[in-house]
Amino acid sequence: MNTPTATAPGPRDDAALTQLVGEALTHAQGHADTEDATEVRAITDAMVRLLIGTPLHSDGKLTIVSLATEAGLRRNKPTHKHTGLKDLFYALVKARTPVPETLPDSARARAAKQQQDLARVRAERNDLRGQAQLLARIVHVLEIENHKWGRPDRRPGHHAQPGPSRRTTRRHGSG
């Protein structure tokens, strides 16, 4: 006689439970030869294959989409029509996932320090971004002034007035 162990159920235990529940649902509904029974059987067989890690028709992920694909049904069948099987599938998937242990104090302290560092770096980034925008505006104004004072206006129909040259020329005498 098998006695339950204290360890978490494995994939084979999940598969056996799924098969048992599927057969019970089929017989409880009294639809042994109907389309519903065929769908229930297809879904439970797909659950078994996904839970033991041997998918035939899907990517093997433990999702409802993969379950429907594995069963050869549209996604709305397990989500809307056979909700009990969907809930069973989610429960078995959740039972397989190990429960995370509580974080030790050193990890919490490290996480808190990282959060503070992140906030500090973000504030510094925002300050630098503001400074960069200010410098860009200053450069733009200086370019406009440089263009305005350094070169004649080149608008169509406008002629520049001759004025003193900025360059001074040296005259070389012969002697």
Lowest mean pLDDT among 46-60, 92-106, 110-124, 148-162: 148-162
Instruction: Give the whole-angstrom CA distance, residue 63 versus residue 101.
Output: 24
Give residue 88's pLDDT.
Answer: 85
Give residue 132's pLDDT.
Answer: 96
Instruction: Assign 6 a pLDDT band (cuts: 50, 70, 90).
Output: very low
Q: Taking a C-beta distance cutoff of 8 angstroms, is the pair 9, 20 a contact?
A: no
Count of CB atoms situated within 10 Å of the CB of 51: 23
Does residue 75 have a pLDDT over 90? Answer: no
pLDDT digits (tens, 9 = 90+) for 91-123: 888 887 665 666 678 888 888 899 999 999 999
Could you tell me which of 22, 21, 48 has the C-alpha nearest to residue 36?
Answer: 22
Does residue 152 have a pLDDT over 50? Answer: yes
